[in-house]
Chain A
């Protein structure tokens, strides 16, 4: 059972780690041939480019991964691992210039984007293809091929059927996107809809709790009580034993003239009879000096005896 727990914990930890790794990266956009309005790279040249998107909500290191346009050579263009700029923040994009000369810098690839080719993003193991993007052969110059989110969580993406106006370095769906508050201001300028919905949800949530607690925790105080036998707990004492314990404690009290024994006996009595005693945080303990000279404290008795 313990092993099972450990395995489950390790699996959960593994899944949690996977949640923020390179598998969350996708090739979100690529351009093969720019027109006169295309962006310039750091060397003033105008060429194709590849954009990578981090779809997760955690930072991912792109460094160490590979970009390639050849399925037979998955390690064609290495993204340098040592460059701290390859840390890609959540829901952000990173742009690589497909200059064909990877030696030009971190964000340059060793191949050019060709029409009709497929670009692959390969994991840092050099074998696993994380994502790919097909660049159509008929893609017009100055237009890009891009992927857009298809679910509300914006994790799954699909390649657009039509050529797109290039948006290098910008999220593909963010050009005209508004914040939730801006959308709400347009849809619900006076706030009535949000108020009605929110109040309903608050009432619903607490009404469900009410229903659950009423069902789960029924008041049994009004129901006729069944005659209950003493708890069959392991080590529990029968009622007559409790009486004996009490009697012994009281006798001890008289003998030793201390109220402590009576208190202990009362606590034991309450515990054994499952009465109102509640296991709260405040626990009464007795720290007496009476055991000062017991065998447990006798150093001589605690030493290992020498063999004779």
Chain B
């Protein structure tokens, strides 16, 4: 009988109930919150559901040394986590993004590319703020990239510059990407007047298949020669796009934008979520990162909208003016921020469709954030 009680006591030590801490419960609650928001509000469900469930997995209290936890060498979760830690997953996601993105909007209106550059000010604004509050330059660079509104880029850069902060940075980036409609709309309305919101832009011209084929090669050569450190992201993005546009690699393109990106998204979401173990995640630094992440989105949106207003000053022909409501789309949350431009634009003119125009700066933002990540990596890596 004593042996049975002793065995039960021993078993009790291995249960979650014996090892639970309030921090674990907080993180589990946050994970459930993510899943709830994803299901009810449908905010980025493909990301928030895996991350939310990953948070629950990562915060199940357990006895250490069983080779189960994500930070225990050789465990299943640890093996899957290597894709995040070593930075394999983000370029694979970029491959899929390239294979599913139609750059026609950008090719037909090249002038919109610069909006994608202006919105990257969010990255460097957050970098300055992070330096100001006492983060080291490499940590500040990793935090700043949240402003690029690009989850894979944020994971890629933080895994290189500040691996300890990666969990907080990734969760922050994906959370704010899900909240793009909530964050951007008030800023867009505050910075524009009714006349500006009613600007109608000319219909973009039709882009030929030949132009679409040349684009990834020219785009890659240009950006990669300027910032070779962005090679993994830029290379995969443009390669994926070439697979799509070449017309002769349809099977590869379909795999890249279908099964491959689905698998990688599932794994990246789950492991990033699981990496937010309470003891490593619930710190003052994480709260600061969340605050700075929010500010970076605000700065990015503000700079994008103001940049368009600035350009309009120099455009004399009223027919060629740009609607400032597409300025927010310079952040690379594709296609959510472009969708925000469309929705807000239609609030004031039901027949004014801004989606195709906003997709231009939106995809330029993807390129811009990858370039910015490359620059930060070369300076701070």
Contact = CB atoms under 8 A, between A and B. Distances in A.
A192 interface: yes
A216 B218 contact: yes
Interface of A: 179-181, 184-185, 188-192, 194-195, 197-199, 201-210, 212-214, 216-217, 219, 221, 276, 278-279, 281
Given A209-B367, A213-B113, A281-B253, A204 B128 contact: no
Which applies to chain A's interface (DSSP): helix, strand, loop or mixed?
helix
Contacts, number: 123
A216 B223 contact: no
Contacts of B127: 191, 194-195
A206 B113 contact: yes
Interface of B: 106-108, 110-111, 113-114, 116-117, 120-121, 123-124, 127-128, 131-132, 136-138, 140, 161, 205-207, 209, 211, 214-215, 218-219, 222-223, 226-227, 244, 247, 250, 253-254, 364, 367-368, 371-372, 375-376, 379-381
Contacts of A208: 222, 226
Nearest to A180: B380
Given A181-B137, A199-B121, A210-B111, 11 more contacts: A191-B132, A191-B140, A198-B123, A201-B227, A206-B113, A206-B367, A210-B113, A213-B106, A213-B215, A214-B110, A219-B108
A65 B209 CA distance: 55
Contacts of A278: 209
Contacts of B223: 205, 209
13 contacts: A188-B137, A198-B379, A202-B371, A203-B114, A203-B117, A204-B226, A205-B223, A207-B113, A214-B110, A217-B211, A219-B205, A278-B209, A281-B244
A279 B211 contact: no
Contacts of B247: 279
A171 to B, nearest CB: 18
A206 B214 CA distance: 16
Contacts of B113: 206-207, 209-210, 213
B136 A205 contact: no
A205 B137 contact: no
Nearest to B226: A205
Contacts of B211: 216-217
B226 A195 contact: no
